[in-house]
Amino acid sequence: MLRALDTAPVPAVPYYVPAGNECTLFAHAHRNRLPVLLKGPTGCGKTRFVAHMAAELGLPLFTVSCHDDLAAADLTGRYLLKAGETVWVDGPLTRAVREGGICYLDEVVEARKDVTVVLHPLSDDRRILPLERTGEELAAPDGFMLVVSYNPGYQNLLKALKPSTRQRFVAISFDFLPPERETAVVAAESGLAEGKVRPLVSLAGRLRALKGQDLEEGISTRLLVYCATLIAAGMPAEEAVTATMIEPLTDEPDVRTALAEIARATL
Ligand code: ADP
């Protein structure tokens, strides 16, 4: 016989602790058929937020992690040879339009320039997706929503989001949660007691304060969850901190030593 644990259903709505009114804002944007841009550092909860909202709104979610080789055809679709026949296969953006779901393009500035050409007619009041290859022009149903994210911290002149693109989106800013909420999130995600998570969160706060001086990017909530997970699994705290909160941040030996000193003083 299966134990209750084996049959426990996967939670339908992914766990998400809001920072402010972002859930309401997102729901309004969806109801009014407006696209949304999420800005914020890596690992602060943007992807989890979209998964949570898709489940709350009962919409299928198509997530694409953009990279510098990602072209428009990767999103719209292409003809493929299948059993000797050429068949059209929809890409994730086309599927989201046909099925009336959310298409989430993570780190959209990384994608190739031709991607913006397919996004523009979908992100203004036309809400259409022209598929040149098949000759179709799909009108997005009410359920469809375009969501993109980017990390302003990584921006450089070549990879900024153009004003003509960003001015089509309702924008929501993300940052790391205030310490008490971040402690609750890290404890919930890792299983480590809040009392043991708290010093890790305060160390993260100190390390984040160094951003821009010695460090390009502050420590993410994701890394904090990794750290707490390793400690919960029995790893000594100091080793876990080194592996998740120091080594991933820098390759410079001097900076590493300085971070280790801060960690020793904080924990
Ligand atoms: P991003 O998309 O901003 O890079 P993620 O959404 O992947 O970041 O977040 C990384 C991890 O941090 C998640 O898998 C989750 O464990 C945790 N997390 C961060 N913020 C939250 C939050 N507000 N609620 C719940 N979990 C969160």
Residue whose CA lies nearest to ligand 1 atom number 19: 45
Residue whose CA lies nearest to ligand 1 atom number 26: 16
Query: 176 alpha carbon to ligand 1 midpoint, in Å?
Result: 9
Residue of higher predicted confidence among 150 and 201: 201
Cα-Cα-Cα-Cα dihedral sign, residues 215, 221, 227, 231: positive
Q: Distance between CA atoms of 183 and 87, rounded to whole angstroms?
A: 50
Of residues 73, 111, 67, 69, the one with CA closest to residue 92: 73
Lowest mean pLDDT among 24-38, 78-92, 151-165, 221-235: 151-165
> Taking the CA of residue 197 as centre, how many other CA atoms within 13 Å lie in the half-sphere pointing to its CB?
24
Q: What is the pLDDT of residues 119-177, one digit of tens each?
A: 999 999 999 999 999 999 999 999 999 999 998 876 655 567 888 888 999 999 999 99
Burial class (CB in 10 A: 0-12, 13-18, 19+), 202: middle
CA distances from 16 to 45, 96, 189, 221, 245 (A): 8, 23, 10, 13, 23
Q: Distance between CA atoms of 125 and 212, rounded to whole angstroms?
A: 39
Residue 165 confidence (pLDDT): 87
ipTM, interface predicted TM-score of the complex: 0.99
Q: What is the pLDDT of residues 167-182, one digit of tens each?
A: 999 999 999 999 999 9
Residue 3 confidence (pLDDT): 46
Query: 222 alpha carbon to ligand 1 midpoint, in Å?
Result: 6
Q: Is 222 in the pocket of ligand 1 (CB under 6 A)?
A: yes
Q: Is 147 in the pocket of ligand 1 (CB under 6 A)?
A: no
Helix 253-266 vs helix 194-208: crossing angle, to nearest 10 = 140
What backbone torsions phi and psi does residue 236 show, to the nearest 5 degrees? -60, 140
Q: Which atom of ligand 1 is nearest to the CA of 42?
A: 4
Which of 50, 190, 221 has the most ligand 1 atoms within 8 A of CB, as the residue to mutate? 221
Q: Is 189 in the pocket of ligand 1 (CB under 6 A)?
A: yes
Q: Which atom of ligand 1 is nearest to the CA of 221?
A: 12
Q: For residue 131, list its beta bridge partners.
A: 136
Q: Is 39 in the pocket of ligand 1 (CB under 6 A)?
A: no
Q: Distance between CA atoms of 235 and 16, rounded to whole angstroms?
A: 27
93 sits in which H/E element: helix 92-99
CB-based contact 47:106 (threshold 8 Å): yes
Of residues 35, 40, 54, the one with CA closest to residue 126: 35
